[in-house]
Structure 1
Amino acid sequence: MKKLLDYVLSGIYLLYFGLVLVVFHVAQVIAFHGFGKEAHKKSVDWMNAFISYGWYLTGSRIQFNDRPDLPLNRPIIFVANHQSMFDISPIIWFLRRHTPVFVSKIELAHGIPGVSYNLRKSGAALIDRKDPKQAIVEIARLGKLIQQTNHSAVIFPEGTRTRSVTGEMRPFVTGGVATLLKRAPSALVVPIAIRGTRSFNPKGLFPLTSFSRMSWTVLPGIEPAGQTPEEVVRAAQEAIGAELGFVKV
């Protein structure tokens, strides 16, 4: 019975999800060309709100534990574990005051209504994982952008989604964070612990797992001053691991 419910509710959600992407793709184009970047950002924020709250159609629940004390007058580098394509939307919506811009693989810049357009227009670092030099240049550009604007960057240092059934993390890679810090030396590094998204879509988009529980927890910031990038990334991974129960503290 539960499996049948997964298929039925997944079908309902995916019809809704596809409609949201198409409608907000059009809204983004109109906003960007007709009203400018700020209007485009608002359309992206609301697209991701609709994506996130749409999960209630599957009986699932989301919890976002924010930190309202995070500064708005300096750039932030959000460092998160990566379980699913659904990790992203709540970060965009609930942290919208920080204007999060993502480090993303370049393949996502085309072919996905709403999502691809935003990646191209938001200033995201679109990296070719087969071309390290290109990736460094793109991430450095993003670092310079957040330093100039006091916006935020979001990076998943695992490099790809974890396939562990327990959600246990892959080792965090330092290079991307190090490049961001080099170009955004005043940035605060803030870990985000993501739980439950992998079990929500363990086999891709269909079927989803109905009545899932997913959470995002923004953890205390890490001041990079006086630390090497390796130490900062290690501290971020340990903080996320402790929150998720993988590291004893």
Structure 2
Amino acid sequence: MNIFHKIISWLLTPIFIFIFFITLCIFHVFQVISLNLFGYKGHKKSVDYMVFWLMQALRVLGARLPNMKQPNLPTDRPIIVVANHQSIYDVPAILWTFRKYHPKFVSKKELEYGTPAISYNLRHGGSVLIDRKDRKQSLTAMNQFSKYIAKNNYAGCIFPEGTRSKDGKMLDFKPAGMLMMFKSMKENPPIVVPVVIDNFWKIQRYYFKPIPFGINFQLKVLEPIDMKIWLEEGNSSTSLIAETEKRIKEALINKA
């Protein structure tokens, strides 16, 4: 960053952080009220509004928001959204893009408490929290989560790298989680949707000291893969994971 860019970034970062946390606190209250008064539908609506405003908050930093146009996918089939992972903002971007399909996340148990709105949504919104140190708990939770997604024809969202990339370079996939999802959803095979996330890593590039001004965030939904057709053509679940990983990597390398 040049000196002017750095000064602007330092001036705007605390304003953004304030707006970010105020938004979380306000919508934490809204989530509690909407869930208790209106059940799942009310709670989901409050989460949709929350992620919309979290994304809009990035404009304070002079950011260009990604194209978050909803993809045209069937609503009578379960969906698995597979994305590379770069930052905390990957989640609201995916939540907003796939809001029509009731996106639920595979997340680490450490996020169960401690963060306003986000932790509450993870506990009550249908996502799954796994303990990465407890393999038995993780597999059991993933099995139950996958059946829940298949039963309701929702979108299960997963970051197979297991952790975020700190420099934008995609890490190798850890296939265990996806394999468990595929196995648990064999009665109602999902549509797998690869998603490419780019430049999101820059928001945490300097660990918020500061957040760079003018980031051009990018999100691209790639061609979906129907697992049912994939298997009928003689392919395996493992090769489906490899193909999904390949498409995301290629899209990152060949980005415009």
Query: TM-score of the superposition, structure 1-length normalised?
Result: 0.94
Contact 1:67 1:219 in 2 (8 A): no
Q: Percent identity?
A: 36
What pairs with 1:46-195 in structure 2 (closer than 5 Å)? 46-64=49-67, 66=69, 68-163=71-166, 165=167, 167-185=168-186, 186-195=189-198
Give the alignment partner of residue 199 of structure 1, picking from 184, 202, 209. Answer: 202
Change (3 A) 1:143 1:50: same
Unaligned runs of 5+ in 2: none
**Cα offset for 1:200?**
2.1
Contact 1:75 1:151 in 2 (8 A): yes
Change (3 A) 1:30 1:67: closer
Could you tell me which residue of structure 1 aligns to residue 240 of structure 2? 232
Q: Which consecutive segments of 4 or more residues in structure 1 shift more than 4 A?
A: none
Query: What secondary structure is seen at the aligned counterpart in 2 of 1:85?
Result: coil
Q: Measure the CA separation in 2 of the matches of 1:138 and 1:158.
A: 19
Q: Measure the CA separation in 2 of the matches of 1:243 and 1:66.
A: 18
**Cα offset for 1:224?**
2.2
Query: TM-score of the superposition, structure 2-length normalised?
Result: 0.92
RMSD across aligned C-alpha pairs, in angstroms?
1.4
- The alignment covers a number of residue pairs equal to 245
Amino acid at match of 1:235: E
Can you list the C-alpha shifts for 1:127-185, whole angstroms capped at 9, x where unaligned?
1111111111111111001111000100000000112x3x1211111111111111223
**Cα offset for 1:65?**
5.2
**Cα offset for 1:228?**
2.1
Give the alignment partner of residue 16 of structure 2, picking from 1, 13, 16. Answer: 13
Amino acid at match of 1:85: I
Amino acid at match of 1:91: I
Unaligned runs of 5+ in 1: none
